[in-house]
Structure formats: C-alpha cells, structure tokens
Amino acid sequence: MKFMFSQIAAMVNLANQRSNTRLLVRFLLILLFFFILYSTLFHFLMGFEGQEHSWLTGFYWTLTVMTTLGFGDITFMSDLGRLFSIIVLLTGVIFLLVMLPFTFIQFFYAPWLEAQNKARAPREVPETMSNHVILTHFDAVAANLVEKLNQYNIPNVILIPDLQQALGLHEMGLRVVVGQLDDPQTYTRLRVHNAALVVVMNDDVTSTNIIFTIREVSGDVATVTNADQDDSLDILHLAGSTNTFQFTKMLGQALARRVMGLSMKANVIGRFDELLIAEAPVMRTPLQDQTLAESRLRELTGVNVVGLWDQGRFRLPNPQTRIGASTVLVLAGSGEQLDRYDQLMGSAGQPDEHKGPVIVLGGGRVGMSVARTLKRMGIDYRVVEKKTTRVQDEHVVQGSAADLEVLVAAGINDTPSVIITTHDDDLNIYLTIYCRRLRPDVQIISRASLDRNINTLHRAGANLVMSFASLCTATILNLLNPEKLLVISEGLNIFRSVLNHALINRPLHDLRIREESGCSIIAVKREERMIINPEPATVLQKGDELILIGTAEAERKYTESYPSP
C-alpha cells in the first residue's frame, strides 16, 4: 500500500498530468450522475410494481447491473422494469467496460508511464565526466566502436533523440543520453567542452547541422565525421568538422590494395614514428610454400615478420612457420628496409598464369572506389553491377553477379582476383560460395558489414575479409591516442609500454614476452633513438620504451603481467 500511495502521489504531482486529470474527473462525475439517476429510477419502478427496497439496495442493484455482475437476487417483473434493466446494463458496458479503461489508460496511465520512461533515460552526463567520446548515431559501426572504447576504459556516451531506442540501449547496459541533435543545450548537458572526441556518423545533411550546432557550444572539441558524397567534404569542413573521412572510399582503397599476385610490394598500413608496419601478400611470390627460416627475409632485407594473417586469423610466427598461398605477412621495419623488400620481390617476381582483369562485384560507393584504385595502380578490372548506371564505361558489365553468363563476360575464367563489395553480408556469402565453386584457385576478397560475419565469409571461401565497422573503429581509435596506441586492423594493435622494472638489464632473448602474452617487441625507443627490430641480444636499459604488436587480448595479458611503473 505504501508503494501504491507513493506512485499515485508521483502521478498527481506531475505538471503535465493536470489537464488529463481534469478530463478524468469530468468523466467520473458523468458516471456518478448516471449512477444516482438509475438508483432513483429503480425506486420509482419498484414502487410501481409494488416492491419496496431501501436506498442502499437501490445503489447495490445499480452497481451490480452496470458492472454486468448481475447476481439476479433483485429483479423486475414488468416489461418496463426489464427495459430499464437493459438500458442500465448497456450504459454500464459502454461507460465502465469501454470508456473508463480507455480514458484511464489514454489520459492517465499512459502519460504517467511515459514520464516514468523519461525519468529512466538520462538527459545529461555527470558533471565530473571528461575526456569522453560522444556518438551521435548508433548502428553496427557505433556498436563496434563502443565495445573497443570500453575495452580501453575510454568513457563514452551515445546521443539518441528517440526515447524508446534510448531505453532499449539503456537496458543493454550502454550509456545513453536522450536529446535533440540540433539543440545546443543537448551538447551542453553532454559536457561537450570537456569531451575528447565527438563521432558524427549520420547522413551528410544531418551531420552538417550537428557539427554546426556543436560549434555554438565548443569551438575546439575534436570531431570525426563521415562524408558519403564528395561534395560534402568541403561543406562539413566549413561547418567546423575537425576530421572528415569517406570511410566507404577508404574501404574500397583497402580492398584494392589487397589484390595478390599483381602487386608484390608491401603496403604500409601504419606508422609509429619512423617505424613502419606493412602487409605483404604471399600468393604467387617466391615466398610461397617456404618457411620463414628458408625465406631469410630478415637477413636479406632487415624487415621483421611480426605476424601472419591466414584465413582472417592473426598468429605469431616462428622460424619453422610455413607461408601458404593465402598468407599475408605483417612486416615491421624502416622505410629503407621495406624498400629492400620491394626490390627483392620485384626482382624475383613470377609471371601470373592468369592475365584476365580483376572482377569487382558491386558498383556502389565501395565498388567504384575499388575500381578507381585499381585504375590508378594500372590494373585492368571489370565491375559487375545489376542496376543501370549513368556512367557509360567499358569496364562496367551490367547484370547479376549470380548469373554465370555475366561472370563469364566479365572474365571469371581468367581473373586472378574477385572483390565482393556489396553492403549485404548475406549476398556476399552467397557470391563467395558461388565464385569459389567456379574458380577454386582464384583469390576472393570480400567486404563484411558486420564483424560477426567475418568468420562465416572465410568458411565460405574468402581469402581475405575486411570489415567496414573495424576500419571505422581503427581510424577513430588512432585519432584518440596516436602517441600510445595504433590500431592496425581487425583487433591488431601496436602500443607503447614504459619498461617494467622486472625487465631492466635483461636481454631480449631471456624474456618470454611472446610465449606468455602473445605480443612481439618490434622496436625499442632509447632516448631519441628508435631501435627497429632489435637483435635478441639487446639488453634493455632503464628509461627504455617498448613498442609491441599483438591482438587486443595479447595486449591485455601483457599489461597485466608487466604493468607500467
């Protein structure tokens, strides 16, 4: 009862409930009028039939008939009395069983429930929050980003204008704030002036309004904005965007650079001071089917193979690790060392048995970005697109990618690589299985919109899979803390670590960092000098800083075993 009274008091005290309460009171007064009227007529009609009853009995009869209980202990004997009973009964059905519940729910309970929901959804962040990341849109990319931010203990909040969506995310354990995207007060309540970054992944028009609104509150907070159209780059910059990317174009460029057998050069994917991280495909190169010891890469070029991508999984190599056709090497070295690697691969290149064009399935923004990148690389290509395009290009083959005749016309029998770029993961899986059946030896590179489908695409036959969500997440994380963390791809990170006291004055070959944590030391920064790919006999000194590479899980194990002093 105490709980009931507290809830009723809370409802009555709500300012926006007052008008609805008045409507409900009016309805109850009308209902009371009918109740008194019917009780009075009951006495007159009973007297007409020669029956005498008390006033309490009249109220009792009216209540039982109007509520359709109808005990039957008091009844009329005349037709007029029975007609009156029918009228009372119908009035009770309409007023008590139909209109009363509807009125109560519509004007009283529903507004109270909405108020309770609004009270559950936060309207601002705590005053003590700072260096947090604000997201103005929630989708698969935002979900992936929030997961990574939580992993690195970076505070974050999602701005949601829709109350029901906010409540749903709140129930999932995410920090959300309800507010309008174009209201400066919203960003004041979000403490945007203390934020480390604002991530704006809405459509171009909405993003422009959001950025312009944020600049009314804070002129120096860093922002990351996605631009779908080329024309939006300048507009978003004029609105005040700090960092504007075309992530779909970036994904297309990354997919095109993964084509194997056509370009044997190492593709630089990250930079940590003068240390460069590159990926190098192995298919149809002299390294294929050799062990790392047999390749003598470190001896010939100075680069260090710090990891391998094989069927979408990253693993640490050892001298006896055999390099397969689908392997992608992760190399660490200086610019000069990578140049020597490129010269070695260029001088020892093997002719490609397939001379056909690279086939790009999907002519959307990602697919056309792949095509433009291949064109700049001087690689012949064909784009298969089902929809009619306004661009008349001999490289575009119109038709369904699931049609064998269309694929044959595009060159499926001679192509060295197939790049699947649609935004529908189900379709990408279907096309991967189909192309693998047609060409068991072809390289298949696929886009994944959702990270959970990466392994499925690999099982379907894709050699390489790139996730749109992971690309966006890696780019944003690199902007947050570029001096300490560099996210390469799919959870592969390079990070700095101040030397733990347990490692001082010990040579690298005595440490078991790789075995215990899964991380590899790729450089040692000593004062102003960077020792890239240090020798196993290198002795660590006080004040040294380690540069390590590993997965997110390996990084967590290392920091737990060797915390910074």
Instruction: Find out if CATH 3.40.190.10 is the number for domain 2-120.
Output: no
Query: pLDDT value at position 361?
Result: 95
Q: Edge to edge, what strands does the sheet with 275-281 contain? A: 267-272, 275-281, 328-333, 304-310, 313-315
What average pLDDT does range 233-252 have in this prediction? 92
CATH code, residues 263-347: 3.30.70.1450
User: What's the pTM value of the predicted model, to 2 decimals?
Assistant: 0.69
**Strand residues in 287-389 grouped as ranges (E):** 304-310, 313-315, 328-333, 358-361, 381-385
Lowest mean pLDDT among 44-58, 108-122, 280-294: 108-122
Q: What is the third-level CATH fold of 491-561?
A: Alpha-Beta Plaits (3.30.70)
pLDDT at 390 over 60: no
Among 255, 251, 200, CA closest to 476: 200
* pLDDT band at 113; cut points 50, 70, 90: low
What average pLDDT does range 314-323 have in this prediction? 81
Lowest mean pLDDT among 6-15, 231-240, 414-423: 6-15
* pLDDT band at 208; cut points 50, 70, 90: very high
Domain at 133-245, CATH class: alpha beta
Domain regions of the chain by residue span = 2-120, 133-245, 263-347, 358-470, 491-561
Reading the block at residue 84, the tokens are 């009156």
Distance from the Cα of residue 249 to its chain's centroid: 18
| Mean pLDDT, the chain, integer | 83
Query: pLDDT value at position 262?
Result: 52
Task: Decide which of 259 and 9 is more confident.
Answer: 259
Question: What's the pLDDT tens digit per position in 299-316?
Answer: 888 888 888 877 656 777
d(CA 374, CA 380) in angstroms, rounded, equals: 7
**Strand residues in 312-450 grouped as ranges (E):** 313-315, 328-333, 358-361, 381-385, 396-398, 417-420, 443-448
What sign results for the dihedral spanned by CA atoms 525, 530, 533, 536? Answer: negative
pLDDT at 261 over 60: no
Same fold: 263-347 with 358-470:
no
DSSP letter for 322, please. Answer: B
Reading the block at residue 61, the tokens are 């009869």
pLDDT at 152 over 50: yes
The Cα-based distances of 349 to 60, 118, 283, 496 in angstroms read: 102, 65, 11, 36
Return the ∠ at Cα 162 (arms to 209 and 206), rounded to 5°.
Answer: 15
Length of the chain in residues, anyone? 565
pLDDT at 16 over 80: no
pLDDT at 119 over 70: no
Task: Decide which of 259 and 74 is more confident.
Answer: 74
Amino acid at 18: R
* pLDDT band at 1; cut points 50, 70, 90: very low
CATH code, residues 358-470: 3.40.50.720
Query: pLDDT value at position 11?
Result: 47
d(CA 558, CA 17) in angstroms, rounded, equals: 57
Question: What's the pLDDT tens digit per position in 517-550?
Answer: 888 888 888 887 888 888 888 888 888 888 888 8
Contact 305, 297 (CB under 8 A): yes
Query: pLDDT value at position 234?
Result: 92
Question: What's the pLDDT tens digit per position in 461-494?
Answer: 888 888 888 888 888 887 887 655 566 655 567 7
The Cα-based distances of 63 to 50, 276, 320 in angstroms read: 22, 86, 91
pLDDT at 74 over 60: yes
